[in-house]
């Protein structure tokens, strides 16, 4: 059996993508509401949370665990051997998709403040020009109920104001480097269109694809 965890609303997007493809496999999904949000915590706190969540999922019967969260994935290399061995982070795979998609080599990342502080995405794409923007504010808005269906004009304006610095940096590819953000992917996509032909990389979707690969 496979396990996955994320803070708050994040991993729900991953599970949704998986189910949409008709996948009915047995999963254990730990929705870590208690520790949300991760992205404004210290590295040590995120490490401790990640370790404990992997332990909890294996205690419940998971043989492999997807760290379905970009923020928690940044501490994968610091996990104790056992927890590192049976868990799979998502950041590297998400970056690979962006590398394939970009035509100009200019990639943007919106992620939590912690993920951006670690430069986890930029380090995966050393030969590209990567503009990273910490937007933990969006995580709070989404955990508070914001999604494409509920977004009003004022929410759209607020989102645009938050992500404008990355959209105006000449990118042709934007990584949604937090699995919460697919909840507003349509809104982000509409906003991004105003700034050019920008392709989006959805980290939750990549997580679902990794999970599918782990089963086979």
**If we measure between CA atoms, which residue out of 10, 4, 43, 8 comes closest to residue 26?**
4
The answer to whether the beta carbons of residues 183 and 13 sit under 8 Å apart is yes
Angle between helices 203-215 and 91-101 (to 10 degrees): 110
Q: Cβ 115 to ligand DGL, closest distance in Å?
A: 6
Peptide bond into 13 cis (omega under 30): no
Q: Cβ 176 to ligand DGL, closest distance in Å?
A: 9
Asked about 69 being catalytic, the answer comes back as yes
- The stretch near ligand DGL (CB under 6 A) out of 47-55, 67-75, 127-135, 186-194 is 67-75
Residues 98-157 that bind ligand DGL (CB under 6 A): 112, 115, 136, 139
Asked if residue 71 binds ligand DGL (CB under 6 A), the reply is: yes
Asked about 147 being catalytic, the answer comes back as no
Q: Is 165 helix (H, G, I), strand (E, B) or coil?
A: helix
Q: In what order do the strands lie in the sheet with 173-177?
A: 129-134, 106-111, 173-177, 199-202
Q: Give the one residue of 10, 89, 134, 182 binding ligand DGL; rule: CB under 6 A.
A: 10
Q: Cβ 103 to ligand DGL, closest distance in Å?
A: 26
Q: Cβ 134 to ligand DGL, closest distance in Å?
A: 10
Question: What is the C-alpha to C-alpha distance for residues 98 and 23, in angstroms, rounded to an integer?
Answer: 25
The residues carrying an active-site annotation are 69, 178
Per CB under 6 A, residues contacting ligand DGL are 6-8, 10, 36-39, 69-71, 112, 115, 136, 139, 178-180
């Amino acid at each position: 059996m496979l396990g996955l965890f994320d803070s708050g609303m994040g991993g729900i997007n991953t599970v949704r993508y998986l189910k949409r493809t008709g996948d009915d496999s047995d999963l254990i999904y730990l929705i870590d509401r208690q520790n949300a949000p991760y992205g404004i915590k210290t590295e040590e706190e995120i490490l401790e949370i990640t370790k404990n969540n992997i332990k909890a999922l294996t205690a419940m019967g998971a043989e492999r665990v997807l760290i379905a969260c970009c923020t928690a994935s940044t501490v994968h290399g610091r996990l104790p051997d056992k927890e590192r061995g049976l868990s799979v982070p998502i950041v590297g795979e998400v970056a690979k998709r962006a590398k394939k998609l970009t035509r100009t080599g200019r990639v943007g990342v919106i992620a939590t403040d912690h993920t951006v502080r670690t430069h986890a995405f930029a380090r995966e794409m050393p030969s590209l020009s990567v503009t990273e923007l910490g937007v933990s504010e969006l995580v709070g808005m989404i955990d508070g109920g914001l999604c494409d269906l509920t977004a009003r004009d004022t929410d759209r304006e607020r989102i645009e104001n938050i992500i404008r610095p990355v959209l105006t940096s000449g990118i042709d590819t934007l990584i949604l480097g937090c699995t919460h953000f697919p909840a507003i992917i349509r809104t982000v996509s509409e906003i991004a269109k105003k700034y050019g032909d920008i392709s989006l990389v959805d980290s939750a979707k990549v997580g679902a694809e990794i999970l599918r690969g782990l089963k086979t």
